[in-house]
């Protein structure tokens, strides 16, 4: 599970740099960088701030953070075929139309 990678992907989809997201969530850029790189895990308060900013419940972030190595070897092929669709479904469930427009503009 890689929470930092999931946060970085969400940040990039919104077209934000680390400094901008950190400011929005009341974090330092250094702290966010350490989270995204996996050097440290976000504490519960930080996780809540990030989830609130991305308009995602914490369980959805954990799903987005799931990696192939988290899955038993015998199920990894299934994971690889299904996860992209599951990820898109998770994001679509919680995105607003405004979020979708922002992402289109930043793509």
What is the reported pLDDT for 100? 53
Q: What CATH code is carried by the domain that includes residue 7?
A: 1.10.260.40
Number of structural domains the chain divides into? 1
d(C-alpha 14, C-alpha 71), whole Å:
28
Q: Which domain holds residue 102?
A: 3-106
What is the reported pLDDT for 95? 78
What is the reported pLDDT for 17? 97
CB 79 within 8 A of CB 68: yes
- How do residues 84-102 score in pLDDT, each as one tens digit? 999 999 888 887 655 655 5
CB 54 within 8 A of CB 31: no
Per-residue pLDDT at 50 exceeds 70: yes
d(C-alpha 16, C-alpha 19), whole Å:
8
- How do residues 11-30 score in pLDDT, each as one tens digit? 999 999 999 999 999 999 99
More confident residue, 103 or 46: 46
- Cα distances from 104 to residues 15, 97, 98, in angstroms, run 10, 11, 10
Q: What is the DSSP letter of 69?
A: G
């Amino acid at each position: 599970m890689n929470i930092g990678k999931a946060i970085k992907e969400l940040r990039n989809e919104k077209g934000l740099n680390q400094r901008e997201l950190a400011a929005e969530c009341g974090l330092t850029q250094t702290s966010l960088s350490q989270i995204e790189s996996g050097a440290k895990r976000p504490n519960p308060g930080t996780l809540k701030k990030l989830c609130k900013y991305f308009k995602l419940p914490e369980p959805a972030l954990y799903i987005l953070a799931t990696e192939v190595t988290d899955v038993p070897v015998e199920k990894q092929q299934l994971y690889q075929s299904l996860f992209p669709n599951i990820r898109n479904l998770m994001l679509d469930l919680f995105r607003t139309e405004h979020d979708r427009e922002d992402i289109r503009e930043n793509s």
